[in-house]
Every structure is written in structure tokens, then in C-alpha cells.
Amino acid sequence: MFKPIPLEELTNQSKQLEDPRIFAKRDDLTGLALAKKADTVIMALDVLSDSARQTTAAVVKLGMKSILVLEGVKPDHITGNLLIDYLLGAEIHFAKTKEDQGITINQLMLDLTEKGYRPYVLSGSPMFTLSAALAYAEATLELIGQIESQSIDPESVHIYLSSSGKGQP
């Protein structure tokens, strides 16, 4: 894992918006992890999930199979993270509800195991939610330190955190 995750100034966006200073945490540079002995990673997330894209990239880089069970319906026009998921080679299933996601994952686990695969459900554990919450806390503390080190006036900072739209008003 690369730490601290870089805080990058977005100068082009700043110019387009009449020069406010805009920064982005480069979560795409957080590094990779590998589950022991698994050859397939299954994740249940939202249709446009950053985590799905990033994990799929990591899984593919490690030579593993990525299966995404995404809550929602397949859009008519595929863009953004979902397009990248497809381009990276993820096997993608859509589920209308969280309950449907669970049913789909259980069936995938049975089918894959019967075929000799060793699947690992990354998002099925309560630790996944706890880890995500802790990651946001850690990122916030890291961001505060980076703001101070770049002599940014903390009184002029507006911070926007988002995960699958959950942080958006």
C-alpha cells in the first residue's frame, strides 16, 4: 500500500472555476492486496462503485477472476466505472436489491466451487463495512496533515467525501 495517499492539486479545474484551489486524494494509488489461495474475488457493490473498479483492476493485475454483483439495473448506456469494470474483464451481474445480491452471490459461490474455483467474497464480511469506515477516518486524518503541510488555510477548505453517493446530500 502506498501511504500517504497523494493529495494532488487540480490546476486545470481550478482555472476553469475562476481559481479556487481544488485538490483530490488519489485513492487510485492505494495499492493492492491478495486473499490467500483465492483465485476469484466476488464483490457486492453499487453500479458505479469506485471500489468495484479499483478492486477489479487489482484482481486482474494479480491474475485472478473478478466477479461483481452490482445493485441496480444495467444502464442502457455504459459509462464511467462500470465501463472500466467491463474493459478490465470483470464478470458482472446485476441485482435489483441487496437481498438479490446475497442470493446471487450464494449461487455464484456454489457454482464456482463445483467447478473447482476458490472464490472469496470480499464485501460479504461485517469487517468490510468496518474497514471502509476506518479507511475514511484514516484518510481524513491524513488529509488534515497534508493540508497543513501545504500551507492551505484550513478556514478556507471545503471537504467533500463520497462513497457510492452515500456522502452526497
| Residue 26 domain-assigned (yes or no) | yes
Highest mean pLDDT: which range of 20-24, 50-54, 82-86: 82-86
d(Cα 36, Cα 48) in Å, to the nearest integer?
A: 27
| Res. 132 pLDDT band, cuts 50 70 90 | low
| Mean pLDDT of all residues belonging to the chain | 81
pLDDT score, position 169: 43
The answer to whether residue 167 sits within a structural domain is no
Quick check: is 163 in a domain?
no
Query: Which pLDDT tens digit goes with each residue over 93-127?
Result: 999 998 999 999 999 999 999 999 999 888 765 65
Average pLDDT over residues 7-33: 74
37 occurs within a structural domain: yes
What CATH number should be reported for the domain holding residue 106? Answer: 3.40.50.1100
pLDDT exceeds 90 at position 162: no
Residue 2 has pLDDT above 80, yes or no: no
Full residue range of the structural domain in which residue 103 is found:
7-125+133-154
Task: Give me the pLDDT at residue 168, please.
Answer: 45
Please state, as a whole number, how many other Cβ atoms lie within 10 Å of the Cβ of residue 119: 22
Query: Looking at residue 89, what is its pLDDT?
Result: 95
Q: Is residue 103 a part of any domain in this protein?
A: yes
The pLDDT of residue 69 is 97
- Residue 24 domain flag: yes
Q: Poorest-confidence range of 6-10, 30-34, 81-85, 121-125? A: 30-34
Q: What is the pLDDT of residues 144-156, one digit of tens each?
A: 888 888 888 877 7
C-alpha cell at 158: 471545503
How many domains does the structure of the chain reveal?
1
Strand partners of residue 121: 42
pLDDT on residue 32: 44
